Amino acid sequence: MLSPSIEPSCQHPTLSSDLEAYQPSLSKPAYPLSIELTSQSSSSSTCHAQSSGTHNEGGIRAWLTVAGSFLVNYASFGLINTFGFFQDYYQTHLLSNTPPSTIALIGTIQIALMNSLSTVSGALCDAYGIKWLYVFAGLGTSTSLIALSFIPGVVWQIFLTQGLVMGISIGFGAQPALAVVGHLFKKHRGLAMGVVMAGAGAGGVIFPIVFSKLVPVIGFAWALRVAALKTAACYTISLSISITERPENSKGSKSSWLPDFNGFRDVRYCVVCAGAWVSQLGLWVPTYFIESYCAKIYPTMRVSSYLLPIFNTTGLVGTITGGVLGDKIGYLNLFWPVDMFLGFLCLSLWFHTRSIDMLIAFVCIYGFCSGIFATLLPAVVSQISPDEKLGARIGAFYSIIAIASLIGTPIGGALIRQSTTEEYQGLILYAGVALVVGALILFGARLLHGRNLRAKW
């Protein structure tokens, strides 16, 4: 929050419209100064950073970088969005004697590592650019897929390769892909980030279909090797078309490569983080368990393998829609209602599903809204972060919610009651309540920006 006392020093001819858009009233604080944790000097440096940043806003190289980031997210976050396929395959084939909650832990380790390493990879992106981060991430992800193809169903080895190695590798690719786009855009930052996040949805659509078609024909191992080849190709193309050098608006910061947790001095940053943390406990539950739920509840229906692609297809549309709407009405204004709606979807449509048609409707709507959620989360954080520390601040944020990503889905899996007709009800209630509570906290964050809910934030 910019302090009213430093308003004159914030004026800049090229950014005045942006400041008006993000701060409807600079004449008075949006909330009492007694609860503002940032100092005036910190606000001043933030203002200076916002006024000195360089944003191409649609230049050809900037949009090529968006395309490159789309490919990186396709080959990184897209694989994480595919874990529902692995959850179902492991439960029915490779690890049939292993509890679902234990299998789910493999996927949540991936998410937790990706998020926790964001504070390092984001800061490195601010300081040095994305070139070597992409090289490391591409090689690591491809290698982990190839190594996984040689593992004969041993739980700890799958944890090591798919959970640990792949999670670390993705952590050095997915976050910089968002951060580099944030450096290049401001007015259309939501749209640009939405396109990048659409890569995760596209990967979540195509990878499960590829696996489901290839595994019966060439086997699980060779399907993984094909995925490794695709991953390497995506990173190679991205490196060839993206702006890989150090961002202009981070130059001159001698310590910009260090993790930056100074955002937690801002009460808005803290409350948004708390709301996102609680929401993350339930957000991924449908993604991981929807296929096994369908196979268990509707065993005669042969659609379970298509639910995850449907989920991610609608999510792909949601990521772009969320970016466009967020740019127009405000990221936080849209964020908390979408989060609330996700919770109500679980507590109503999923919990009371009585037919396969209702389940497909839930998958479509939840997928679309979760895509909006995925786009708005980094956009909200970027809105309250200085440009020269954008990657580090987003990374620090994700490193905290990594804990929720790690424990959330396994907790839900542990609530599945085997050998009962209502075995998934505890799981569904858990996901819905977590999302609703998280949304209420995010609404509190919105009130900190001002009581006028029509103002753009």
Output the DSSP codes for 261-316: -GGGGSHHHHHHHHHHHHHHHHHTHHHHHHHHHHHHH-TT-TTHHHHHHHHHHHHH
Which residues make Cβ contacts (< 8 Å) with residue 155, sequence separation at least 6?
Answer: 95, 98, 102
Question: What confidence score (pLDDT) does residue 296 get?
Answer: 82
Residue 68 CA to its chain's centroid (Å): 17
Would you state the torsion angle of the CA atoms of residues 268, 199, 323, 69, taken in this order, to the nearest 10 degrees?
Answer: 70
Which pLDDT does position 1 carry in this prediction? Answer: 35
What was the pLDDT predicted at 341? 97
Joined together, the tokens standing for residue 368 give 């679309």
Q: Is the dihedral of CA 388, 391, 394, 396 positive or negative?
A: negative
CA–CA gap between residue 355 and residue 335 (Å, rounded)? 30
Which residues are within 8 A (CB) of 423 and not within 5 positions of it... i.e. 6 or more apart? 296, 416, 417
Q: What is the DSSP letter of 455?
A: S
pLDDT, residue 222, reads: 96
- Domains in the chain, CATH or no CATH each: 48-448 (1.20.1250.20)
How far apart are the C-alpha atoms of 383 and 229, rounded to whole Å?
37
Residues whose CB is less than 8 angstroms from the CB of residue 205 and which lie 6 or more positions away in sequence, other chains included = 309, 312, 313, 316
Residue 258 confidence (pLDDT) = 60
Cβ atoms of 173 and 137 closer than 8 Å: yes
Rg (CA), the chain: 21
Which pair of tokens denotes residue 26?
């600079």
Find the helix packing angle between 356-383 and 189-218, rounded to 10°.
140
Per-residue pLDDT in tens (0 to 9) along the chain, 457 residues: 333 333 333 334 433 444 344 344 333 333 333 333 333 333 333 333 333 344 456 678 889 999 999 999 999 989 988 888 898 899 888 888 888 888 888 988 998 888 888 878 877 887 788 889 999 999 999 999 999 999 877 889 999 999 999 999 999 998 888 888 877 887 788 888 889 988 988 998 899 889 989 999 999 999 999 999 999 999 999 999 988 766 555 554 544 556 678 888 889 999 999 999 999 999 989 988 888 888 888 877 778 778 888 988 898 899 889 989 988 898 899 999 999 999 999 999 999 988 899 999 999 999 999 999 988 998 898 888 777 777 778 888 888 888 888 888 889 888 887 655 568 889 999 999 999 999 999 999 999 887 777 777 7
Query: Please, are residues 446 and 24 in contact by the beta-carbon 8 Å criterion?
Result: no
Q: Looking at residue 16, what is its pLDDT?
A: 40
